[in-house]
Chains A and B, each alone.
Chain A
Amino acid sequence: MSAATPNAGMSHSARDVAARRALAPHTSMFVRMLVRAAVLRRGRAVSALFAMVVAAAVATAMLNLYVDVQAKLRREFRNYGANIIVVGRDDSGRDGASLPPDALAHVDSVLAGRGIAAPLGLIVARTGDGQPIVVAGTDFERVKQLDKWWSVSGWPSEIPTSDATTAPEMGHPGLIGVRAMAVVSPKGQAFDLSFQGHTLHVKPAGTVQTGAAEDSRIYVSLADFVAWTGVQPSTIEVAASGSPEEVAGIMNQLTQAIPAGDVRPVRQIMEGEARVLGKTRATLLAAAALIILTAALCVLSTLMGWVFDRRRDFAIMKALGASGRLLNGFFAAEAAALGATGALIGFVVGIGIAAWIGRVNFHAPVVPRWSVLPVVLAGSMAVTLLSAILPISLLRRVQPAVILRGE
């Protein structure tokens, strides 16, 4: 069997063919040999293509995940809450002074959707029997998104507004820390707090448990807090999303936007995040390198088998007078075509795999990275060319007669 097998399905007249061949004698034959070789030896061509597709798919999926995983994990880390805090400073450099009333609006405009910020005002009030207790004013809707780890039995903001409007009689809804609850309202009843002669009637809407300072505090809405104490929030907690550079940029902008405040990173969170992300990415890179290496080897062995198998084609072409350059070109073109087809199909499959992993593991799709395509394409072509050239350079030293005799 050879590539010169007459094409039984050919319906053109001989003259047409002759005329066409006169125009482009080499190209036509070259293309025909490529196509027929693949069609006639379908089984082996398909298995070589399959190996190529699998390798390209795995490589695409791994590279895509490698690029995307950082963004995905950063989102998980934002559940740790604030990574930046803005603290009001007085003239002597001490913390705890009020921030200007428009500070939160400034923070929001700097963030522009790249995170969430919650204001926090803190004072020490007295309970009915004169015990000191920390009362915090905050925006419950924002805190709910910022501090997802809070274990809350009922948010004050979820009380129907009709109740809230009747607040003076019913009491202002408050969120009570579990340890504070035992002191101020063991039975869940409403209670009074006093601050500089002003009294606030608080009705517990629920309790909050965090295992930290929040457990000993009472939270009321910022509007109630300001109306009661006349104190503006002194702290804004900011959870900014993005890479370390983006977060540093946001911090710079915040420093400029709020000169009265001191903008500080929460180092505890930022350093832990950087470490865990770095290690995860390094592990992923090692895994990706190993997987891509085995996939490339799989392609290499399959393709080398395929080319070796066709040593008779090679011998016949050589016996018919094909030059070494033509033979090299032929097998190289074949390998390149296979590599490109496999890479394209594999890219699509790989994007699918990456998207699936994203959905199963991170509950968010992994966005296709087109920048991966040229890398995969070039890698595939390189591997296929290598696996074609190796056997060819071995075969070139052998006389065609020896191969044709089947030795």
Chain B
Amino acid sequence: MFVRLVYESFRRQKRRKLLAGAAITLGVTVATAMIAVATDVGDKINRELRTIGANLVVTPQEDSLDVEIGGVNLKPPTDGAFLSEADLPKIKGIFWHNNITGFAPMLPVSVSIERDGKPQDVTLLGTYFAKQISFGTDSFTTGVRTTHPWWKVSGAWPEDSSRNILLGERLASRLGEKSGDEITLAGRSLRVSGILSTGGAEDDEVVASLALAQEILGRPDAVKRVYVSALTKPEDAFARRDPKSLSGAIYDRWYCTPYPQAIALQLTEAMSHSHAEQIRQVSQNEGAVLTRIEGLIFLITLAALFSSALAVSAAMATAIFERRAEVGLMKALGAGKLAVASIFFAEATLLALIGGGVGFVAGGVLAHQIGHSIFNSDISISPVLLPVILAIAVIVTFAGSAAAIRQAVGLDPVFALRGEL
């Protein structure tokens, strides 16, 4: 009888059930989408912050001091120690290799360039543009086009295997060269494939492939420094502790958290005779910005959950209020308060489960849409969340119906049936 009552109620009152179900579905959709966005927004914003540049730098351990003003190195280029290019792929072999979004080696070399027949000293910077690198079975592309997204080239980016070069825009305007020209540099005739604009010291430099810089310097395999762009966790008090002072399990926890310091340590371990450090301007501020944005989205998610809970409650209360006559009839026929209430609660549960299920799927689609339209990447929702969302939907539906059910059950059947309340 109980099952039949519930079943018939759904069969005969399709419109009302649809309305309440739609409210629950919409509430759950919004809640699911916001939870998905909130859990993923940190990662997404972190990737956007990577456009500000690399947050870690690897230098040779025994390096002598840089004597560099405005990008011009005043030290003999052969001075000091070098890193080995052969070690570079190992960067993708560290514990947090999935958090490394890219890296770019740098090798500055002093070269002379012909200007009005007179030789002139400029810096040639050897680097990767977008080089294919493989480590184990992994293959990936990395270089300045990933780590330095603000570098703009008018013309074409050179191939890493080619001997084409980029000219910094200020240098190009001083020399009166444009892309497509041939210039003589360190005794070699090279083609300018594009003009580079960075807003920094590179505007006065020549940028070429790492292989060409090594050839000019006469040191194959040499790299002066490596800029590494990594997704990190904002630094906290635990991150700042000296890893040498940590013991066993605590050290493991420190090592296995993507703090800038931990990733720097792993980079130092991966490359021989190296020293990795965070670039504080980037890494320190990143944490602050990220914390603010995550906090904001978290608070807004709370607001979204609250307002969808209210919407579900309001819909349920209205739906039950409209069925006072039915309650009156049931009570007149001798149904107890418990029997009436349990019918309503059973209906609410069913509605919550159906609406919750549909809303979960719709919320996933909505989150996916938001991810694609805003961040150009996927925001997916893990199916593990389904039971949690369903439980929340049931609780909210119950809470929303409870007051209305209590009122309906407490009605005098005579008044309810006469429609006088």
Contact = CB atoms under 8 A, between A and B. Distances in A.
Interface of A: 47, 51, 54-55, 58, 61-62, 65, 69, 72-73, 76-77, 79-81, 87, 92-96, 122-124, 131-134, 147-151, 179-180, 183, 209-213, 216, 235, 264-269, 271-273, 275-276, 279-280, 282-284, 286-288, 290-291, 293-295, 297-299, 301-302, 304-305, 308-309, 312, 353, 357, 360-362, 406
A304 B204 CA distance: 70
B161 interface: no
A308 B41 CA distance: 42
Given A131-B65, A272-B49, A290 B304 contact: yes
Interface string B396-411: 0000000000000000
Nearest to A147: B281
| Closest 6 pairs between A and B when the two form their complex, measured CB to CB | A406-B419, A305-B318, A272-B52, A267-B199, A298-B311, A149-B284
B51 interface: yes
Contacts of A290: 30, 33-34, 304, 366
Contact of B296 (A210, A212, A271, A361): A361
Q: Chain B interface: which size bin?
A: 35 or more
Nearest to B315: A301
Given A77-B289, A81-B281, A291 B300 contact: yes
A283 B199 contact: no
B370 A80 contact: no
Contact of B69 (A96, A212, A264, A305): A96
A305 B303 contact: no
Interface in B41-66: 41, 44-45, 48-49, 51-53, 56-57, 63, 65-66
B307 interface: yes
Interface stretch (B84-92, B178-186, B246-254, B272-280): B272-280
Given A211-B277, A279-B48, A124 B67 contact: yes
B285 interface: yes
B144 interface: no
Contacts of B190: none
B375 A267 contact: no
29 contacts: A47-B314, A55-B307, A73-B293, A77-B285, A80-B281, A80-B282, A81-B281, A93-B174, A124-B67, A134-B69, A211-B277, A216-B68, A265-B199, A266-B200, A268-B52, A268-B199, A269-B52, A276-B293, A287-B297, A290-B366, A297-B26, A298-B307, A299-B314, A301-B19, A301-B23, A301-B314, A301-B318, A305-B314, A312-B419
A283 B284 contact: no
Contacts of A265: 199
Given A267-B198, A275-B48, A305-B318, A283 B70 contact: no
